[in-house]
Amino acid sequence: MRQKLVSFDELATQYWNVRYANGDTESERRWLFEAEPTVVKILSALGLPAVELEVLGESEWQDLTINLDPVRRGVGILTDMDEWATYLAPDSPSLEADGLHPWVWDAARTFWESEHYRAAVHAAATSVNAHLQNKLGRRDLSDAKLVQEAFSDKAPEAGKPRLRVAGDQADPGVQTRQRGALQLGQGAYFAFRNPAAHETGDLAEQEAMEQLATFSALARLIDRCQVVT
């Protein structure tokens, strides 16, 4: 779009140069009128008011008039709009990847740096699963099934230790967090790990970061829980 506006500006300059030299401006006039609809469409898309969209006109003596002010304003917008998005956006919090739980980021980092975002999520999920297995001393289950066994509200059994969030287990708030940990873990594996392992095509960077953050939250819960045997 910027190049179209710049070309129109240059064409207008060429028209005036030929006209001042008393040359034939028929070709330049035709090129200007051919280019005008696209120029007007671009200026409209950039949000310039309708009153500024008339770039070609006629004087009272039926001479061609050219209004380049909106064209040059449009060039300015298109030149700087990327910087506007960067520097004039509202302040908002940012998530530092290396602030994620080490189980997640240490596993995902290499894939992330090479822009393999789906693989980064899969590696993080696998790492959290491995640490959960180590914490419980279990190798017979993995992923969502292991989470279900770990956070089950059932009493521990032989070979089936449980995880318990910190606090009085009779407290309703603690019980709620326990159920929430179970649902968060299962949801993370069903919704994110399984697609990361079996689907093709990469994830968008933002989407992948959100999924890593979910596994980071799960990792912190697991890391802080007590093992009950």
With tokens 């299962």, the residue in question is: 186
Identity of residue 94: S
Q: What would the pLDDT profile of 170-194 be if each residue is shown by its tens digit?
A: 999 999 999 999 999 999 999 999 9
**Is residue 56 classed exposed, middle or buried when 0-12, 13-18 and 19+ CB atoms within 10 A define those classes?**
middle
Q: Find the Cα–Cα–Cα–Cα dihedral 191, 197, 199, 203, rounded to 10°.
A: 70
**Angle at which helices 102-113 and 205-224 cross, to 10°:** 160
- Whether residue 169 has pLDDT greater than 70: yes
pLDDT attached to residue 84 = 77
Q: Which one has a higher pLDDT value, 175 or 22?
A: 175
Helices (H), 2-94: 2-20, 26-45, 69-87
Count of CB atoms situated within 10 Å of the CB of 198: 8
Which pTM was predicted?
Answer: 0.63
Helix H, strand E, coil C: the string for 71-119 is HHHHHHHHHHHHHHHHHCCCCCCCCCHHHCCHHHHHHHHHHHHCCCHHH
At 94, give phi and psi (nearest 5°): -120, 150
How does pLDDT run across 187-227, given as a tens digit for each residue? 999 999 999 888 888 999 999 999 999 999 999 999 999 99
Instruction: Assess contact for 101 and 223: CB atoms under 8 A.
Output: yes
DSSP summary character for residue 227: E
Whether 12 shows a pLDDT value over 90: the answer reads: yes
Tell whether the model's pLDDT for residue 24 goes beyond 90. Answer: no
Nearest to 150 by CA among 204, 137, 4: 137
Instruction: Using CB atoms within 10 Å of the CB of residue 69, give its burial: 0 to 12 exposed, 13 to 18 middle, 19+ buried.
Output: exposed
Evaluate if residue 104 carries a pLDDT over 90.
Answer: yes
Locate 71 and state its tokens: 């064209």
Phi, psi of 57 (to 5 degrees): -155, -170
Residue 2 tokens read as: 């910027």
Give dist(CA 204, CA 116) in Å, integer. 10
pLDDT, residue 126, reads: 97
Amino acid at 193: R
107-121 burial, b at 16+ Cβ within 10 Å, e below that, comes to bbbebbeeebbbbbb
Q: β-pairing, 226-228 with 162-164? A: antiparallel
